[in-house]
Amino acid sequence: MAFLEVNNLNKYYPITDSERFHALKDVQLSFEKGELVSIIGESGSGKSTLMNLLGGLDSQFDGEILVDGENIGQFKEKEMVAFHKEKIGFIFQSFNLVPHLSILDNVTLAMTLSNIDSKTRKARAKEVLEQLGLKDHYQKKPNQLSGGQKQRVAIARALVNDPDIIIADEPTGALDSQTSDQVLDIIQDIAKTGKLVIMVTHSERVASRSTRIVTIDDGKIINDEKRPPLQFHDNAFQIKEKQENKNLSFFAAIRMALLNMKEKLSRNILISLGGSIGIMSIILMLALGKGVNDYLTDTMNENVNPIISEARMTEETQSDTAAAASVETVPATAPAQPSGMGGGGGGIGGTLLADNPAAQMSKNIPFEEANIAELEAIPHVEKLELSYASFSMGSDTVVYEGENYAFMNFGTTSENMTDSNILYGEFPDQGEVLITEEMADGMAGNAEDMIGEDVEVKLSVNGHALTGTYTVSGIYTAGNAIGPAGSFDSVFMTMDTFADMNAANGLTVEPNVVYLYADEAGNSQDIKDAINGLGYAGSSTDTLAKTFTKMLDIFTYILAGVAGISLFVSAIMILTVLYISVVERTQEIGVIKAIGGRNKDIRRIFVSESFLIGLFSGLLGVAIAALLSTVGNVIVERIFGTTILHMTPIYALLGILASVIISVIAGVFPANKAAKLDPIEALRHD
């Protein structure tokens, strides 16, 4: 059996749904290694069609093409890829060198697709280039070479994998006569090494250098002239030790993508810059939201003890309806008292009862023993502190020097209050009270002057009027705290003092606030979650903080979403540019397919480019966001004494990840288009 055998080969091209053009008609040929065959014929005779079929560029035909006994018409993609890598080498009339690759990289391209290691492929390419007289041109670009040198590079690329068959399409068509002779000498030498060389040509002079001339006309072989064979000699182009052909690796695809991007560097920089704007905007919006949230949290934490959590009764946790009713009923003779919004334990801690504070203002439900035991059983609770808090609308007053000063917020002190809440003086002991700065200013003109002064405190507690005279021990300030204590006049005393006040009026204190002390600060949030899970209300600080945080998150995400529109624009821009790149590199894609590139390899190269664009965009966006955050924080700190843009590594990582994902998604469509290009049409593209 001949090495290459063609049996009853027919090729049809569809013209309409019902009509076909018969391009090749019952072609019957056989070739052996060592032959230098010229296929000649007029334009349109079918010689290029025959060449494409023999080279495996077109696999749609009737009949058989057997290479070493295997019918290439039955090859699957994997087998056809191996055929192109191992059996076939192409030499094109227009050279089809990749313009942005060096001569060395052009020649190693086929081995790169086979994932042969860098050292081996460079050594092999240099060996072949040296044999073809191009030793001093490794790092030049194709546009720096003459026509003859370019064709030698194309020959080197065809030979570098040591294939059995070389197919040359008009190898001297773009060369002058002297250079043509030099190239034909090289092609003859290749055939003398035992390779089958098939040339397609119009030139009788080129055909005369062959050992066999096959004439084709109107799709039929009309003449097959054999001439004296060539004298064989050692194969100088043979690979001494062949490596197993593999597939293009991810890192090799990245390297090829980098080389491609370098060719259009300015364009890719602009694309990356455009994509970075969206990433930068999103990161800055997230950093702003976190900065404001951190500022609110830090401000609140300055005024509370971080290991203490607050709990209040709700209707859900109330076990005795009758007791609740008696607490909520206020005699007609008593002033109206919407209680249940106390500032006990620091004023910031306990004011609004639940997510809907307005609905709770008429509730002031005391704790029962069962409730206290339930709270005490929460994991990580070290101890409990019982307290009382109330909120009134004009019924509670302080009398000083005969003048009445109304206040709204009353509570007993606890360790939840911190030293930062004391503007002047100190925390109260037995028989002493704290009053807020605004009240003290109204009484004495200067808040500090009220320290040590005696005042009469009048309270309405569950319909009972309580009164007592106490010494002002300190002036309370809520600072920037959120809650009624930060907005309303308030009075605080110890729980013992309040108990004595009730006892003097024949009453018993019924605590309506419980403070839970965590064994460690890190467990406070778990305790708060457990309190809410059991149906109790937390502190107004936590409630309002959650409300503010939720509103802030919504605001941040809306702004980030608006900024994200630019990412969509970037995706369209990347999609457009890569489509343009497919058109610009159509011929290159055809070459890659001809030398053994899979559709998957083509996709991988283009997706790698989009990945790199996304990565560079993300990195640039993060860098710009970091710079603007730094500058912005310096300016804000000088003006307001705080920072407001808190950029975190997570935001940077998310920004880069989002940029890469969006870019890769945008690159998939042009990558698929490139992979689906027909190699024959791609090679004809100008």
Amino acid at 664: V
What pLDDT sits at residue 173?
A: 82
> What are the domain boundaries of the chain?
4-246, 263-295+549-684, 308-519
Q: How confident is the model at residue 573 (pLDDT cuts 50, 70, 90)?
A: confident
Q: Which residues contact 242 (CB under 8 A, 6 or more apart)?
A: 162
**Res 300: pLDDT:** 66
- Identify the top-confidence range among 22-26, 421-425, 568-572: 22-26
Among the residue ranges 24-28, 350-354, 387-391, the one predicted with the least confidence is: 350-354
Determine which of 310-324, 411-425, 490-504 has the lowest per-residue pLDDT on average: 310-324
Selection from 197, 200, 209, 230 nearest residue 88 by Cα: 197
Please say whether the beta carbons of 108 and 122 come within 8 A: yes
pLDDT in tens, 411-465: 998 887 878 788 999 999 999 999 999 999 999 989 999 999 999 999 988 888 9
pLDDT at 477 exceeding the cut of 60? yes
Q: Using the CB atoms, write b or e for 487-503: b if 16+ within 10 Å.
A: ebbbbbbbbebbbebbe
pLDDT at 500 over 50: yes
What is the DSSP secondary-structure string of 497-564? HHHHHHHTTT------EEEEEESSGGGHHHHHHHHHHTT-B--HHHHHHHHHHHHHHHHHHHHHHHHH
Query: pLDDT digit string (tens) for 640-651?
Result: 888 889 999 999
| Average pLDDT score over residue span 269-283 | 88
Residue 241 has pLDDT above 70, yes or no: no
Q: In this model, does residue 282 exceed pLDDT 90?
A: no
Q: pLDDT confidence of 230, banded at 50, 70, 90?
A: confident
Which among 150, 108, 142 is positioned nearest to 125, based on CA atoms?
108
Tell me the per-residue pLDDT of 358-406, one tens digit each, with 9 for 90 and over.
Answer: 333 335 788 888 888 999 999 999 999 899 988 887 789 999 999 999 9
Class of domain 4-246: alpha beta
- Statement: residue 240 has pLDDT above 80: no
Of 602 and 362, the structure prediction assigns the larger pLDDT to 602
pLDDT > 70 fraction of the chain, expressed in percent and rounded: 88
